[in-house]
Every structure is written in structure tokens, then in C-alpha cells.
Amino acid sequence: MKILLIFISVFAVNTKVEQASSNVYARSYVVMEQNSGKILESKDCNLQRSVASVSKIMTAILAIESDSLFNAVTVGNEINTIVGSSLYLEEGTKVNVIELVYGLLLRSGNDAAVTIAKNVGGTIDDFVVMMNNKAKEIGMKNTIFSNPSGLDMYDNGNLSTSYDLALLMRYCMSNQTFREINKTQTFKSSVKGTWSNKHKLIQNYEYAIGGKTGYTKKAKRTLITSARKDDLELVVVTLDCGSDFAFHKAKFEQYFANYAYLTFLNKGTNYILNYEIVVDKEYGIMIENSKIKNATKHYQINPKNNEVKMRLILEDNTSIEVGKVKANSFKIC
């Protein structure tokens, strides 16, 4: 049996160090690496509390994954019970569900949330069941959804944790349609003018690629942000953090300055020497910049069983296991 070993050199990158502000209070937070789902840093990340409008990303992803996304729907009397953040939709207005998703994510429209819920779920109550079923599917073990908006003045609202919300955002960011909508800075509505994204980092931070704001008196400020620099993509979630935008940016700057993400296999087709390897997801590793110098990517390819083992060999000849994968297809070019 022939096993092929391949070595690819890795070049060092900037190792400038920047620390996140240590005097910003957050009741609960988590920093997660997007590709692996690994927690890089956290505080009370399993503490369950009301999470306000950041829960709307669940409403959005259910709409995006539904068969109704491009359907035109009629705004009903469900909007008459809505308070707080609104798109100011009028009963009887016809609008496409995808436009409601833009209004939901950019402007946090509670009227958009209930209109989506009624038209995607059949009833709002049935849509809430869909939300909780999806939460279980994703692995959100400490989450209970009560409504599609996150309002909590009549009940406990939507209860979750910073860790569960990071899992949800990671899942949502694996959907290209969600990514495109969520990173939008402004959107020209067909029914209510132009909508600007409320998330300040999406507007002002060059590496921000998605996120959602939230606030109620019970939940306090809640915030989710995704950011990407080069190949390193992170998710930060804070619950009850007064200076949340500054906190998120500081965390991103800290990790972007000190870490890099090395991709070993891209999702889809890869060419390594004379081999074509097809995999259904990306494989790589997050590593400190200080360890990258003279590091080498190592692939052990077994053509007999389509298996690829990956590890990173460091300058001191120690190695870090990246993982192994059985390729979907595997052939000599």
C-alpha cells in the first residue's frame, strides 16, 4: 500500500500584540472560532438569561431555509400587538419574505418578526415550535424560545446563553444567503424607504461581516458580531455589556493580531500535487502567530481508503494534529 507524504511550508505573519480592554464589564460573553466552533475565551457562557433581539437571527435563518423566502405575503393584524423596534409596516401591505428578513436583521423590526412567523410557520405558536426544534438540532441546550422577536415585557422572553447564541450564529454564517443579508449596510425597501443596519461594527469596522443588536430593560444590551481577517473568522457574543461595540472590536483586534488560521483543505475540490481531493467542509487550524515561523503543513494521503491525515510540524519538530478526513472523492490528476 502506497502512502504519500506531502510537506508545504508556511510563512510567518505579523506578530504585533494588541490586548482587549480589561475594564469593560460583560455579564456573560464568549469568543468562538467559526470553523471549528472552539471557545477561545468566555465568562459565564452557560448562564441563561433573556437575550432580547439577538434571538431574531433564529427567526431569520428559519425564513431563509424555508420554501417561503421569495414569496409575497400580506401583512396581517398580528402587527397590531407589536411594541418597540418596528419597520412601521401597515396591515394589508404586500411584501416579499426576503425583504422582511432584511428589515428583521438590519432594523430589528418586531413587526417583521411576527409577519415572518405567521407566514413561515402557519401560526406564530407553530413558528415558536420550529424555533425550539431548530435550537435542539444545532445543540443549543440551554435555550428556550417563546416568541420570534425577543420581547420580554409580558413573559421571560427568549432565554439563552452566550455560548448557545455563538453556536446559532456559527450555524447561520454557514448559510451564504444569511451572510449576504446580514452584512448589508443599507437596503432600499420597496415599502418603507431605505434601511440602515443598526449594528455599528458592520457600518464602521472593516472586518465585521455580520451580527445582531438587542436591548430590553430585562436583558440589557445584547450583541452578536462575526468578523473575518484573512482566513481567521470569529464570533463574539456579549450579554449585558454596556460598552459592547468597543468590547467586540477589542476582542477581534486582540485575536487577529496574535493568531492566524491555516487552511489545509477547502470545502470542495483541492489539488495537492497530483491528487484531486474533494471534501464537504473546510479543514484547518487556528494557531498563534509566534508558532508559524518555519512551520510545515503535513499531509499523509492513503489512496486505498481515500483518507487524508493532516498535521502542522513546527520549527522545533513538534507537531499539532489537525485531523483526518475520508474524502468524498479522490483521484490522481
Q: Is 56 assigned a catalytic role?
A: yes
- 134 to each of 39, 143, 162, 245, how far by Cα in Å? 21, 11, 17, 28
For helices 110-121 and 56-65, the axis angle rounded to 10 degrees is 40
Rg (the chain; Cα; Å): 22
Give the distance, in angstroms, between the CA of residue 220 and the centroid of all CA atoms in the same chain: 21
Q: Residue 225 corresponds to which cell in the numbers above?
A: 458580531
Handedness of CA 148, 149, 150, 155 (dihedral sign): negative
Query: What are the backbone dihedrals phi and psi of residue 268, each rounded to the nearest 5 degrees, phi first?
Result: 105, -140
Q: Which long-range contacts (CB under 8 A, 24 or more apart) does 140-143 make?
A: 140/164, 140/167, 140/168, 142/46, 142/48, 143/48
At residue 245, the 3 state secondary structure works out as helix
Q: Is 108 assigned a catalytic role?
A: yes
Q: Is 136 assigned a catalytic role?
A: no
The single residue of 53, 146, 162, 226 carrying the catalytic annotation is 53
The single residue of 28, 50, 55, 108 carrying the catalytic annotation is 108
Contacts of 286 (CB under 8 A, 6+ apart): 33, 35, 36, 38, 40, 232, 259, 260, 261, 262
The single residue of 50, 56, 192, 297 carrying the catalytic annotation is 56
How far is residue 332's CA from residue 78's CA, in Å, rounded to a whole number? 59
Query: Taking the CB of residue 46, how many other CB atoms lie within 10 A of it?
Result: 13
How far is residue 4's CA from residue 6's CA, in Å, rounded to a whole number? 7
How far is residue 1's CA from residue 144's CA, in Å, rounded to a whole number? 52
List the beta bridge partners of residue 32.
Answer: 39, 235
Answer yes or no: are the C-beta atoms of 109 and 86 closer than 8 Å: yes
Catalytic residues: 53, 56, 108
